[in-house]
Structures are given as structure tokens and as C-alpha cells.
């Protein structure tokens, strides 16, 4: 459990740092905003770090309680925490999506570097490479959600939340290939969401072109 908490600490810190680094370093140095606005921005970043940690910790704690429950009350509390964290994630997608993409890409790079020392860690290089590839795929498929201009549909919201859940569920399973399977469930959801968004965009473009052609023919 301590390893999971450690991973969640990395997740939270990375989320906040990536979210806070949306401006270039040169822009930060030339920041001419009032001190009040800078302080407000700092508190907002700190709040995002704390919120990300709390959501992830609540979800993983709920999973642990539901799995190892010795009484009905523990099972109920565990599922309550799981449900609550999922609901919060669903309603705050724009809040954490950008940091999620960065965290997944960072984890993939770390695992890719880990293949060089896999033999000394008594871990299969193929296993680590599979994890890295799955995480890279997830980061690429999630990139579009990092844009603040994205028109977020219900399908898109559900897919990025499912991907985040799969990433969290894979943490306790990192020592087995089950983590790869769980991550790729999230990747499949992201691919289906992308295909649905593409089909919708093409349909709107077709309707627009039809309307334009009808107007020109008059």
C-alpha cells in the first residue's frame, strides 16, 4: 500500500506541476500580473494538487476496503468511496485532464528507461516494455482532452474517466501482465471515443457543406 501511496504522490505532484507550467518559463519571468493574481494562481495550483491526491487516494482506498472487507460496513464504505471519486472525476474532467496526460507520458518514459535495468530488478523486459507502450498509447489518445477548446461530449467524458480509472487500477497490478490488460481497456475506450468524435465532426461538416451548396444554388 505504501508503494501505491508513493505512486499517487507522484501523480498528484506531476498533475500540479504540469498544470502550473502551461505558461513558458520566459512568460513566468516576465509575469506582470498583480501580486494578488499571482498568489491566487498559486493557491489554485496547490488546490489542484491536493484535489488530485484526494480523489486518487479515495478511489484506491475504496478499492482496497471493498476487496479486503471483513464486514458489510467496510464493503459499503469501500464502494461509497469508489462511487464518490468516480462522480467527482466525471464532473471535473477539465480540471485534471491536462495533468493526467502529462503524468501518463512521464510514467511511460520512466518505464521505458526501466527496461535497461530490468534484468537487475528481476523483472521481464517485455513486461515493462508492454506497460510503457500501453501508457504511451494512452497519453497520445488522451492528448485531445488537454485542450481547453475541446467540445467535451458525454462519450468523451466517459472515456477519459474510464482511462483514468484504468490507470489507477493498474498501479497495484504493476508486477503482472494484468496491469497491461487493464490499461488497454482504457485505451479501447479512448479509441472508440475518438472514432465517435470523428464521425460526429464529419457529419456536421457534411450538413454544413450541404447547406452551403443549397444556398449557392439558389
* Tens-place pLDDT, residues 85-128: 999 888 888 878 777 888 888 888 888 887 776 666 677 778 88
The mean of the pLDDT values for the chain is 77
Alpha-carbon distance 205 to 53, whole Å? 41
- The answer, yes or no, to whether residue 7 has pLDDT greater than 60, is no
Give the model's pLDDT for residue 136: 92
Alpha-carbon distance 15 to 12, whole Å? 5
Residues 6+ away with beta carbon under 8 Å from 137:
184, 187
- The answer, yes or no, to whether residue 12 has pLDDT greater than 70, is no
Reported pTM:
0.71
Contact (Cβ atoms closer than 8 angstroms) between residue 16 and residue 49 = yes
Give the model's pLDDT for residue 176: 82
Report the percent of the chain where pLDDT is more than 70. 75
1 vs 133, which has greater pLDDT?
133
Residues 6+ away with beta carbon under 8 Å from 127:
118, 177, 180
Give the model's pLDDT for residue 190: 93
Alpha-carbon distance 205 to 210, whole Å? 9
CA distances from 185 to 43, 59, 79, 154 (A): 35, 18, 21, 18
Give the model's pLDDT for residue 187: 94
Give the model's pLDDT for residue 120: 66
201 vs 130, which has greater pLDDT?
130
Confidence of residue 161 (pLDDT cuts 50, 70, 90): very high
Biggest CA pair distance of the chain: 75
Q: In which element (H, E) is residue 24 found?
A: none
- The answer, yes or no, to whether residue 3 has pLDDT greater than 50, is no
Condensed to tens digits (0 to 9), the pLDDT of residues 21-80 reads 444 444 445 566 777 777 777 777 677 667 777 888 888 898 888 888 888 888 999 999
- The answer, yes or no, to whether residue 17 has pLDDT greater than 70, is no
Contact (Cβ atoms closer than 8 angstroms) between residue 37 and residue 23 = no
- The answer, yes or no, to whether residue 16 has pLDDT greater than 50, is no
**How many C-beta neighbours within 10 Å does residue 35 have?**
7
Amino acid at each position: 500500500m505504501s508503494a501505491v501511496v508513493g505512486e499517487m504522490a507522484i501523480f498528484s505532484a506531476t498533475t500540479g506541476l504540469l498544470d502550473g507550467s502551461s505558461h513558458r518559463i520566459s512568460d513566468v519571468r516576465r509575469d506582470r500580473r498583480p501580486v494578488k493574481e499571482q498568489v491566487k494562481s498559486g493557491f489554485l495550483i496547490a488546490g489542484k494538487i491536493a484535489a488530485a491526491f484526494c480523489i486518487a487516494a479515495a478511489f484506491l482506498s475504496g478499492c482496497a476496503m471493498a476487496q479486503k472487507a471483513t464486514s458489510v460496513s467496510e464493503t459499503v464504505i469501500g464502494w461509497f468511496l469508489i462511487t464518490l471519486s468516480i462522480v467527482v472525476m466525471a464532473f471535473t474532467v477539465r480540471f485534471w485532464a491536462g495533468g493526467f496526460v502529462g503524468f501518463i507520458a512521464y510514467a511511460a518514459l520512466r518505464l521505458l528507461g526501466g527496461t535497461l535495468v530490468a534484468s537487475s530488478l528481476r523483472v521481464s523486459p517485455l513486461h515493462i516494455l508492454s506497460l510503457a507502450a500501453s501508457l504511451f498509447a494512452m497519453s497520445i489518445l488522451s492528448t485531445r482532452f488537454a485542450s481547453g477548446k475541446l467540445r467535451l461530449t458525454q462519450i468523451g467524458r466517459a472515456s477519459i474517466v474510464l482511462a483514468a480509472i484504468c490507470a489507477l487500477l493498474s498501479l497495484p497490478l504493476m508486477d503482472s501482465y494484468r496491469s497491461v490488460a487493464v490499461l488497454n481497456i482504457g485505451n479501447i475506450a479512448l479509441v472508440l471515443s475518438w472514432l465517435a468524435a470523428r464521425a460526429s465532426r464529419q457529419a456536421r461538416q457534411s450538413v454544413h457543406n450541404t447547406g452551403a451548396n443549397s444556398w449557392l444554388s439558389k
